[in-house]
Amino acid sequence: MPTPSRGLTQPERVEISSRKLARAAAELIIEKGWEATTAAEIGRRAGYSRAMVHARYGSKDAVLDAIFMREYMAQLSPDLDPQANGLQHALAHLDRIGRLASEDPELLRAMFVAAFEAVKSTSPLRPRSLGQLDTGMQKVKMGLERGLADGSVRPGLDIEGAVNDISASVYGIAYLWLVLAEGYDLERELTCLRNRLIRDYGSPPG
């Protein structure tokens, strides 16, 4: 007789439920925004009871911290490849967005909806989103500074201006994508932006 399949361990069950809750949170954020979403809705969408969600996390904001912000938003700020040059480091954040646009556009959409919801001074998302934004901008800055040292970034570059340009361009493209939806080719626009940044900030071929 065939051996019965091994049952899932507790950590495996927790991991599966966390992924389902994170996906449910992402879907609801796209539909109605974070503040209008309740912990009960997240649990129901994921197929779990409100009691289970409350017992594990305690509140909607705890779900946000434990699942969506920590696990998913962190994907927009990847660890840097130590073998890459400075310019590649500066563009790593943009490259990760491009990969998510191809691999999981709905997740990326939820990330940006949450980020834009944080513009309200009273939004509970604001501190978290500001922290993510600051981390991303610091990584871009460090990449450009490294690029000046290794020669991959053109000499005399205004680092602060370049960081602001890159950040504003990414968020501008994201906003148009959210608003225009199917009529906007996100991957194409991200590729055009990347080419422009290499042209403007990379060292001239020589």
- Nearest to residue 104, comparing CAs of 42, 193, 186, 14? 186
Domain membership of residue 51 as a residue range: 10-60
Residue length of the chain? 206
Identify the pLDDT of residue 176.
97
Same domain assignment for residues 106 and 185: yes
User: Do both 102 and 53 map to the same domain?
Assistant: no
The structure tokens 């051996």 sit at 3
Q: With 60 as the cut, is the pLDDT of residue 5 above it?
A: no
Do 90 and 122 lie in one domain? The reply is: yes
Instruction: Give the mean model confidence (pLDDT) for residues 172-195.
Output: 95
End-to-end CA gap in the chain: 70
Contact 21, 42 (CB under 8 A): yes
Greater pLDDT, 152 or 36: 152
In a domain, 147, yes or no: yes
What is the pLDDT of the chain when averaged over all its residues? 87
> What's phi and psi for 7, nearest 5 deg?
-70, 155
Query: Does any domain span residue 70?
Result: no
Is residue 55 domain-resident?
yes
Of the listed ranges 20-24, 42-46, 95-99, 200-204, the least confidently predicted one is 20-24
Q: Are residues 154 and 192 in the same domain?
A: yes
pTM of the model: 0.83
Looking at the structure, tell me whether residues 187 and 114 fall in a common domain: yes
Element (H, E) at 132: helix 126-150
Residue of higher predicted confidence among 19 and 5: 19
Of residues 189 and 77, more confidently modeled: 189
> Is residue 1, in this structure, part of any structural domain at all?
no
91 & 52 share domain? no
pLDDT tens for residues 64-119?
Answer: 777 666 666 666 666 677 889 999 999 998 999 999 999 889 888 988 998 899 89
Q: Are residues 132 and 40 in the same domain?
A: no
Looking at the structure of the chain, the number of domains it has is: 2
pLDDT at 167: 96
Query: Do the domain assignments include residue 65?
Result: no
**The pLDDT of residue 1 is above 60:** no
Q: Are residues 22 and 95 in the same domain?
A: no
Q: What is the average pLDDT across 18-44?
A: 87
Per-residue pLDDT at 3: 46
Res 73: pLDDT: 61
pLDDT at 92: 92
Q: Could you tell me if residue 72 is inside a domain?
A: no
